[in-house]
Structure 1
Amino acid sequence: MFSEAWKSCKNILCIRLDNMGDVLMSQPAIRALKEGIQGRKATLLTSGAGSSIAPFIPEVDETITFDVPWVKTNEIRGEQQLLALANELRSREFDAAVIFTVYSQNPLPAAMLCYLAGIRKVLGYCRENPYQLIAQWVPDKEPLDYVIHEVERQLRLVGMAGAKTSNTKLLLEIPKEGRQNVSDKISDLLVSSGIRADEPWLVLHAGVSEEKRLYPASDYISACRSLIKQGYRIVLTGSGSERDYVGEISRQLGGVAMNAAGELSIAELIALIAAAPVLVSNNTGPVHIAAAVGTPVVVLYAMTNPQHTPWQVANQVLYFEVPSKLRTKNRLLQSFHGPSTPRASPEGIVAAVTELVSLSGKHLSGATRLTWSAAAGNRVMPSIPSGSGFSGFDEYNICSRHQHENVK
């Protein structure tokens, strides 16, 4: 629809102001923008949370970090700082901007920011006519007419500007200079977790940024106890602020679950998830990291926005209700009901883990080291160091493992 107007645009501002997972799900759309025009530069404007994953997204050339007042954040920014941001954006002389939003977000504050920055060529979804604030307006038909995956939503948006890509996968790359340290850290972590050769294990990410998406710790504990009886070792991850919460889960599970919450950088978390046979998690950022590195994932999915399930990776989605006091006040979302089955339960978690691990057919051990192969496009790959005592292990590309269509 707007492709002719975008052919001369070389300096693009990509606006994604929410969380890490949202930024990652916008990656294929940003890739499409980059592939469409040779030499095009993509600058990402995102939140502090979103900026944490940006260094590992190869399509992002530069990142501007700012927590805006119209998106939920712990950082409070005043009007003077917001005006200073508009001036900074103006000084960068962007040719155009794309506003990436979920259907429950209002794009107009971001559009006003672009207007103040002198960016007139703005592409975005909007429910009502934004007039000159979004000059290239795509009427938002979600969720009343249909619901599509978040990745597909953003690909359709940039498609209006003539941006296409045949590669719609998520993909993370760890910068070359840090790879060896990351490999060593994860190898040491797995060894200290007591994971031995051919012993099943998994990563459990029990924390989440919003309370309404927090699956009950007691049910996680019950599921993990059953898995431990089957021989599984558990590595628990989370942010630094979640360390005490995750630590209580670890204590309840005894010595077979390591609390690594707050101990890992984003690069190390990416590598750990890449090495894991399976990830169990709330619907939060690590789920999309798992999709990007090809690790099968079991998602305990709060019935909020239904379009953020794992993208193109083997997965099982188990749904649970949000407590009534935490449910959204957004009337549009209140009137829309997404999937509600299969229901989450400890037994469901155990069954899902068993099925996904059987699909992968491999158990990586604590002695596994992570290396990188130029032939694999610098994607994370496991290999066995000499003298490790392992045999019969075929090196394989984690990033291409189980790139199935997502299960909804």
Structure 2
Amino acid sequence: MNVKDWWHNRDATSGPRRILCVRPDNFGDVLMTSPAFRALKQTWPDCHLTLLAASVGAVVASMIPELDEVITFDVPWVRSDAQHDPASVLTMAETLREGAFDAAIIFTVQSQNPLPTAMLCYLAGIPRVLGYCRENPYQLLTDWIPDPEVLVATRHEVDRQLDLVATVGCQTYDVRLALQLPAGARERAMQQLQEAGVDIMRPWLVLHPGVSEEKRRYPANGFVKAAHRLTDLHNYQIVLTGSASEWAYVDGICQQIGEDAFNVAGTMDLATLAGLLAEAPVLISNNTGPVHLAAAVGTPVVVLYAKTNPQHTPWQVPNRVLYFDVPAELRSRNVLLQQFPEPAEPVASADAIVLAVKELARELITVPAH
């Protein structure tokens, strides 16, 4: 029996009843996998999808309508700040065994090794496990898809995961990122803006200067220079967002911009941030989760893009991608992952940011509101 036959022979129409989707990454990665979740649900409407996600990724799960359940677990083979107890892996394997899953799908970025996750599924007794892998996984992946992206990603992350589920016959014509805003999210966001001092009758935009990895952080002075021009020449107010841990960094940038800048870092949960981005005319950001949150709600994005992950550009939303080099001392220790498709243009600068915002603003005038 070939791969597709098994996945479609559980029942004449429904396929596997209970599917574990494993995505132990950040919430942006989970969002970029949401079209693949939709493909599973549209192919097998009666299936039950459980997401196994890291704590930083699980926060968005409640806003993805295709997911029925989420299990939160920070695995030790993906970068995180969590403290790991080896016994917790065995405990999680037992938890998954109790879930009686028919199958599991391991979603990985091109640079990740799926085998530790495959071993977790093996210990959990999950009978079928689908995933990409560069080397032969033998019994750890019953449905092995040889990974063609060996040294550098050649597909967008959304396409990578859609292609994976397509190997078992799951497809969708709706490949947008899935995000369902909770009731009142937009209203809460706008109320917080006004409480922070923003005049919502004047032009404003969102700047997200933080990022989880320093190598993907565009220099603060570049943001400050661009913001000065946007406030002085174009009358924009700058709303700065970030996590609670980034408050001091964001506030330093806010203070340099001046009286037309407002720091709301750490004051919004993810749903309210999504509501804020849904109302914003444009987001300026490093390559990080809010870029994909903005794409999911249809907000144009200017992304300052370190030459690290070419597959994570904004998906199906008006955007401008401005590239900058990763400092040599911050580059990956894995020399096999140093490559980046060239040329990577346009080059990031304060002038390029301002031009990108102006271009996107003009495009919004000629395109119906999202």
Scaled by the length of structure 1, the TM-score of the pair is 0.86
Find 1:270's aligned residue among 268, 271, 274.
274
Secondary structure at 1:301 match in 2: strand
> Do the aligned residues in 1 keep the contact of 2:310 with 2:340 (CA within 8 Å)?
no
One-letter amino acid of the structure 2 residue matched with residue 320 of structure 1: F
Scaled by the length of structure 2, the TM-score of the pair is 0.94
Deviates further, 336-345 or 160-169: 336-345
- Give matches, 1:297-316, under 5 Å: 297-316=301-320
Secondary structure at 1:262 match in 2: coil
Number of paired residues? 361
Question: 2 CA distance for matches of 1:171 and 1:59?
Answer: 8
- Give matches, 1:163-242, under 5 Å: 163-175=170-182, 179-180=183-184, 182-192=185-195, 193-197=197-201, 199-229=202-232, 230-242=234-246
One-letter amino acid of the structure 2 residue matched with residue 226 of structure 1: R
- Call closer, same or farther: CA 1:140–1:227 in 2, change over 3 Å: same
> Do the aligned residues in 1 keep the contact of 2:152 with 2:340 (CA within 8 Å)?
no
Find 1:351's aligned residue among 348, 355, 365.
355
- Call closer, same or farther: CA 1:338–1:150 in 2, change over 3 Å: farther
> Do the aligned residues in 2 keep the contact of 1:149 with 1:309 (CA within 8 Å)?
yes
Secondary structure at 1:255 match in 2: coil
One-letter amino acid of the structure 2 residue matched with residue 256 of structure 1: D
Question: 2 CA distance for matches of 1:93 and 1:224?
Answer: 53
Question: 2 CA distance for matches of 1:290 and 1:184?
Answer: 17
Question: Which position in structure 2 is the counterpart of 1:141?
Answer: 148
- Give matches, 1:251-290, under 5 Å: 251-290=255-294
Q: Do residues 324 (structure 1) and 325 (structure 2) align?
A: no
**Which of structure 1's runs of 4+ aligned residues deviate more than 3 A?**
143-146, 335-339
Structure 2 gaps of 5+ residues are 11-15
Structure 1 gaps of 5+ residues are 363-393, 402-408
One-letter amino acid of the structure 2 residue matched with residue 4 of structure 1: D
- Give matches, 1:9-408, under 5 Å: 9-144=16-151, 147-175=154-182, 179-180=183-184, 182-192=185-195, 193-197=197-201, 199-229=202-232, 230-337=234-341, 340-361=344-365, 401=370
Question: 1 CA distance for matches of 2:252 and 2:271?
Answer: 25
**Share of identical aligned residues, percent?**
54
Question: Which position in structure 1 is the counterpart of 2:5?
Answer: 4
Q: Deviations over 1:35-74 (max 9, x none)?
A: 1113101100010100011111111110000111100000
Question: 2 CA distance for matches of 1:335 and 1:51?
Answer: 30
Secondary structure at 1:26 match in 2: helix
Secondary structure at 1:111 match in 2: helix
- Call closer, same or farther: CA 1:281–1:146 in 2, change over 3 Å: closer
Question: Once superposed, what is the RMSD of the aligned Cα atoms?
Answer: 1.6
> Do the aligned residues in 1 keep the contact of 2:103 with 2:128 (CA within 8 Å)?
yes
Structure 1 residue 259 displacement after superposition: 0.3
> Do the aligned residues in 1 keep the contact of 2:240 with 2:262 (CA within 8 Å)?
yes
Structure 1 residue 185 displacement after superposition: 2.2
Q: Deviations over 1:325-367 (max 9, x none)?
A: 11012232124545521110000000000100111129xxxxx
> Do the aligned residues in 1 keep the contact of 2:308 with 2:340 (CA within 8 Å)?
no
Question: 1 CA distance for matches of 2:205 and 2:6?
Answer: 49
One-letter amino acid of the structure 1 residue matched with residue 127 of structure 2: R
> Do the aligned residues in 1 keep the contact of 2:208 with 2:285 (CA within 8 Å)?
yes
Question: 1 CA distance for matches of 2:80 and 2:152?
Answer: 30
Question: 1 CA distance for matches of 2:150 and 2:204?
Answer: 38
One-letter amino acid of the structure 2 residue matched with residue 267 of structure 1: A
Secondary structure at 2:258 match in 1: helix
- Call closer, same or farther: CA 1:77–1:145 in 2, change over 3 Å: closer
Question: 2 CA distance for matches of 1:27 and 1:206?
Answer: 25
Question: 1 CA distance for matches of 2:22 and 2:173?
Answer: 23
> Do the aligned residues in 2 keep the contact of 1:2 with 1:162 (CA within 8 Å)?
no
> Do the aligned residues in 1 keep the contact of 2:110 with 2:153 (CA within 8 Å)?
no
Structure 1 residue 196 displacement after superposition: 4.1
Question: 1 CA distance for matches of 2:138 and 2:200?
Answer: 62
